[in-house]
Amino acid sequence: MSASWALLITCEHGGNAVPGDYAPFFADWGEVLASHRGFDLGALATAQALARAVAAPLLAATVSRLLVDLNRSVGHPRLFSGVTKGLPRAARQAILAAHYHPHREAVARLVADGLAGGATVLHIASHSFTPRLGEVTRHCDVGFLYDPGRIAEKTFCARWLRELACLDNDLIVRRNYPYRGVSDGLATALRRRFGERYMGVELEVNQRFALGGEESLTSVSDHLADALVRALGRKTVCL
């Protein structure tokens, strides 16, 4: 692993905001916007804790994933929601131009800058998941998503996981759960674009912590941040 790191924290589903021009389309979607379908509850607070702990830049989006999902590739069937999928093509292209491409391109620029400086880029994307999906209860508190075929990502996540266990061994921590680390997403796209010196990790935190109140979310976020600092254990280069 490189002695020189360039760190980047992102949050693709940090809020449930709907731009004014599109508000009428969401008039009857208030409850859905406030649910896990509208945004990743608690993910932004966790991202902020991570960024503070390692002095890394944070690129966060607060537009609802129901407008456009910044963690899906163009062409993915869930890029647009049931609200926006049926809009005219011109309207969908306008949403991409205003909200989707600026976030993804800003992330890519920082990755490229870090690589150009000779560092290994570690990109951590902060997400969260609903404790129960349909009839399935997710028995997990924190998930680390990565490409198991990439030794550097696998090794780093194992180190972060071990440090987290030292700080809080009551947490149920799983790898590539509740989603697969190689599924369609921003990190997957960046791996293809930038190669082995880019490391992409998606952090998934159970929304039960955010639902449990500020103290609960702050505790798990701080433990994750402290464990990240320990897992790095090397010189850090800010992007």
Q: Which amino acid is at 66?
A: L
As its CATH architecture, domain 4-238 has 3-Layer(aba) Sandwich (3.40)
Please report the pLDDT score of residue 2 as a whole number: 44
Q: Which amino acid is at 36?
A: H
Range 144-169 average pLDDT: 97
Please report the pLDDT score of residue 153 as a whole number: 98
The ranges assigned to domains in the chain are: 4-238
Q: How many CB atoms lie within 10 A of CB 130?
A: 18
Average pLDDT, rounded, for the chain: 95
Query: For residues 122 and 187, is the Cβ–Cβ distance under 8 A?
Result: no
| pLDDT tens digits for range 66-95 | 999 999 999 999 999 999 999 999 999 999
| pLDDT tens digits for range 173-216 | 999 999 999 999 999 999 999 999 999 999 999 999 999 999 99
Nearest to 234 by CA among 109, 111, 119, 114: 119
Please report the pLDDT score of residue 82 as a whole number: 95
Q: Return the SS3 of 140.
A: coil
Q: Considering the entire predicted model, what is its pTM?
A: 0.95
